[in-house]
Structure 1
């Protein structure tokens, strides 16, 4: 059995620069990791099998894990078949990239177990069309996403603060979020400049997620959670990606823990990530 963790992301700002004729959008966004993760257990088997701890998530060929597995087999070929048993913790439809993270880890696991020695770019090319943030998860480092979000410029932007992420309990439609936003081709400040040059306590005045206003208009609880995070003492709070999760960054641990406990007592799914978090991308052989 091999074990590995598939980590979630949050977006530090998201600027929608242009709506393309294809229906996609040119964006600029900062990607970083949080400790929220799904656990993979993988065994060799007679055929491919996908087992998920959450019965509400389909485990058919439409699952991104299955799509990644099938793409690898189709274009590279598998000498063996594998069974994937996934403990799901990252909420779906939450703006945390859980599905894309799962797909990226699936490719990295197959690359290791099949000893194919494919580069990160080779893996990205296999499933580039499945998710705009998959390249970020394959590269495994914080960075700036541009173009469709697939062009990743690694940057040291993992926050030096406690990140409290709150899932409000419902999914948010990515298509609706982008469909109702207003692209701005000439923002006053670039996200890269803000993240690299400005202090974290200035972000609330400069760093925006362009998808946030139309989503909050339709889902007021998201805006309420953001306000509460500021009330609890966050130096910056925003919706992640197209929602629905909201995160707040705290400078002091006891303030972050108090906020975490308050949301937890209200039965929200929450995650608290320590400052300068570095995810463990290892794939480990476990004796069973």
Structure 2
């Protein structure tokens, strides 16, 4: 086979409500509206004599403690009685550990590739994806989704779907998902008068001082935003603007206040 290149998109949670903690699954039940971004990882695949998976960021090799691509292939091979051997190179353009779903998206992209390569019915994605990870099913297509529970995900079909501009702000300090949910479960945070549609924002503020400084600064411009909040368990923040004029001015102000801050311009499908 020739080298195959596939794209693995990020996502944002436009809102997030923690319903309750489920003792059976040991996970929190969530309600959240999710949109897919154009920001994506690039995955190159070529046939090989053995399975080799490498991750790169800006041409530098990186190591991921939990390799979800390896987990996906292992699951697939066991279920469908295959022995997959490929060289897989992943260029990580999606920031790792910021609530943007890069790992789950990588798993979804590889799963779709394996269905195609082995000529297996792609409708199996609905069954296989939740067994690999709770968010993998979000990446079945580019349509917006609604998470309602733990494994319940519903497609939303917009009346006039299109790509809309959005900016993703990436603090230097990450949030650890486990710590954020534990903080929320134990209620070790303070409610403030901030307006947020993400229940986990309060825990992020309790655990991540840099996030709090950036979030509070952005609150000064709330009236100029169409969208503004933290994505998932953070610590990334998304903003979209009401006009091009205020967009340019506020982006300049953010860079001036936080010169080392990474800001990614992208588009979300809605």
Shorter-normalised TM range:
0.7 to 0.9
After superposition, the Cα gap between the structure-2 partners of 1:221 and 1:81, relative to the gap in structure 1 and judged at 3 Å, is same
SS in structure 1 of the partner of residue 62 of structure 2: coil
> Is contact 2:16–2:31 with CA below 8 Å preserved after alignment?
yes
Pick aligned residue for 2:32 from 22, 25, 29: 29
> In the alignment, which residue of structure 2 is the partner of 1:196?
none
RMSD: 2.7
> In the alignment, which residue of structure 2 is the partner of 1:211?
200
SS in structure 2 of the partner of residue 180 of structure 1: helix
- Structure 2: 5+ residue stretches without partners: 187-193
> In the alignment, which residue of structure 1 is the partner of 2:191?
none
TM-score normalised per structure 1: 0.78
> Is contact 2:75–2:132 with CA below 8 Å preserved after alignment?
no
> In the alignment, which residue of structure 2 is the partner of 1:57?
63
1:44 is aligned to 2:47: yes
Query: Partners of 2:164 and 2:217 in 1: how far apart?
Result: 18
> Is contact 2:77–2:84 with CA below 8 Å preserved after alignment?
no
Query: Partners of 1:160 and 1:255 in 2: how far apart?
Result: 20
> In the alignment, which residue of structure 2 is the partner of 1:228?
217
> Is contact 2:5–2:45 with CA below 8 Å preserved after alignment?
yes
Structure 1 runs of 4+ off > 6 angstroms? 157-160
- Structure 1: 5+ residue stretches without partners: 184-203, 279-288
> In the alignment, which residue of structure 1 is the partner of 2:238?
247
Higher strand content, 1 or 2: 2
Task: Name the count of aligned residue pairs.
Answer: 253
> Is contact 1:144–1:155 with CA below 8 Å preserved after alignment?
no
After superposition, the Cα gap between the structure-2 partners of 1:226 and 1:156, relative to the gap in structure 1 and judged at 3 Å, is farther
Query: Partners of 2:212 and 2:151 in 1: how far apart?
Result: 25
SS in structure 2 of the partner of residue 141 of structure 1: coil
Cα shift at 1:52: 1.2
Query: Partners of 2:247 and 2:157 in 1: how far apart?
Result: 25
1:237 is aligned to 2:228: yes
After superposition, the Cα gap between the structure-2 partners of 1:175 and 1:79, relative to the gap in structure 1 and judged at 3 Å, is closer
Q: Which has the higher contact order (CA 8 A, sep 6+)?
A: 1
Cα shift at 1:149: 5.2
> Is contact 1:135–1:152 with CA below 8 Å preserved after alignment?
no
TM-score normalised per structure 2: 0.83
Query: Partners of 1:261 and 1:111 in 2: how far apart?
Result: 45
Deviates more, 1:75-84 or 1:88-97: 75-84
Cα shift at 1:129: 3.8
Cα shift at 1:26: 1.3
